[in-house]
Amino acid sequence: MRIDFQCLPLTLDPSFLSQRTVVVIDVLRATSVIVQALSQGALEIIPVMTVEEAFSKAKSYSSGSTLLGGERGSRKIEGFDFGNSPREYTAERVKGKRLILTTTNGTRAFHAVSGGKEIIAGSFFNLSASAKRCLELGSDLLIYPSGDEGRFSLEDSVCGGMLIDRIIRQNAHRSNLTDASQSAYLLYQRFKDNLVEALRLSTHGQDLVARGFEEDLSVCVQVDLTDVVPVFREGVIRAFPIPSKKER
């Protein structure tokens, strides 16, 4: 299994994507929210690019079944039910509900890799489960950090590096890493004893602290809270496998 790491969130060649499992990572905070919401029993999540699209999409479902979540400038959008903090997505609020989600980087990333063979949402919350699923699928792997408004993001690289660590412990040899995935792996090694340090050092982490979301940094580095692996197919993200009652 060749493991590659996409340093910048670029549009990629569809023939390249169609051969690969793609793991989208947006630790701060879209994929953390997605994993959390599905592990708490949300029915499905529809990632959309714009606020207008979110409101318009919600109208096509029966009232009460669908909630709106996401952010602009890290803050909750007016008229939405949730912002972009995983802390908001409790079982009490999301169980059995459909979520429409729009965020600055994360939801964009899912659309950018929509040609992938299988598209997974990864975060620290479902690290080992994501690694296990990648190994089961067996295809070459592309780790796709959603980045920070088009720029390289440190926190997603460290999470990607930890995913690589979990995979190569089980199976692949380091010789199957590219220079980019090797570097993500080495960045993880640097922070493995203090993951929150990477988030505090990152531009986006510092920005969240400045905007009053400091608590989300320590929330988002919790490892292996769930076995849920969110899978994006035909515009919708659903849990694989269906979460157990205990997790809900």
Segment lying near its own copies (by CB under 8 A), choices 119-127, 130-138, 152-160, 219-227 = 152-160
Q: Which of 11, 18, 201, 224 binds its own copies (CB under 8 A)?
A: 201
Does 8 bind its own copies (CB under 8 A)? Our answer is yes
Residue pair 25/144 in contact by the 8 Å Cβ criterion: yes
- 190 vs 233 by CB, closer to its own copies: 190
Pair type for strands 3-5 and 20-25: unpaired
Does 183 bind its own copies (CB under 8 A)? Our answer is yes
CA distances from 87 to 33, 64, 66, 220 (A): 8, 21, 19, 9
Q: Which of 153, 166, 229, 232 binds its own copies (CB under 8 A)?
A: 153
Structure tokens at 231: 């899978």
Q: Which of 1, 2, 7, 140 binds its own copies (CB under 8 A)?
A: 7
CA distances from 93 to 5, 51, 99, 165 (A): 35, 21, 11, 34
3-state helix, strand, coil in the chain (%, to 5): 45, 20, 35
DSSP 243: P
Does 222 bind its own copies (CB under 8 A)? Our answer is no
Does 104 bind its own copies (CB under 8 A)? Our answer is no
Q: Three-class SS of residue 191? A: helix
Segment lying near its own copies (by CB under 8 A), choices 67-75, 197-205, 208-216, 225-233 = 197-205
- 65 vs 206 by CB, closer to its own copies: 206
Does 148 bind its own copies (CB under 8 A)? Our answer is yes
Does 196 bind its own copies (CB under 8 A)? Our answer is no
Name residues whose C-beta falls within 8 Å of residue 92's C-beta, 6 or more positions apart in sequence: none
Segment lying near its own copies (by CB under 8 A), choices 83-91, 99-107, 134-142, 178-186 = 178-186
Does 210 bind its own copies (CB under 8 A)? Our answer is no
- Lookup result for tokens 């960045």: 187
CB-count exposure of residue 173 (10 Å: 0-12, 13-18, 19+): exposed
- 13 vs 136 by CB, closer to its own copies: 13
Does 209 bind its own copies (CB under 8 A)? Our answer is no
Interface with its own copies (CB under 8 A) = 5, 7-8, 10, 148, 151-154, 157, 178-180, 182-183, 186-187, 189-190, 201-204
